[in-house]
Amino acid sequence: MDSLREMQRAFAAALRDPAVSCAVLPPANLAVYRNNGHITFREALEQTFPVVRRRVGDDYFRQLGAHYR
């Protein structure tokens, strides 16, 4: 049996890369967590860098955030 740390690492890796399998949840369920992670990250960037967002526009800011992530 995997240790908790190994299971957490596998889960985190599966959230970052859809090609990675995870024993914790089925792939269809991981999509929900992956989507929430993307949205939360984007919202955190928007709140942290509001001036940059206004200067470059919403679409470009989202592209920058996705690339940064």
pLDDT at 18: 82
The structural domains of the chain, with segments of one domain joined by +, span 4-68
Angle between helix 58-68 and 27-48 (nearest 10): 120
For 10-69, how does the pLDDT look when each residue is reduced to its tens digit (9 = 90+)? 888 888 888 888 877 887 888 888 889 889 999 999 999 999 999 999 999 999 998 988
Helix (H, G, I), strand (E, B), or coil: what is residue 60?
A: helix
Q: Do 24 and 10 touch, CB atoms closer than 8 A?
A: yes
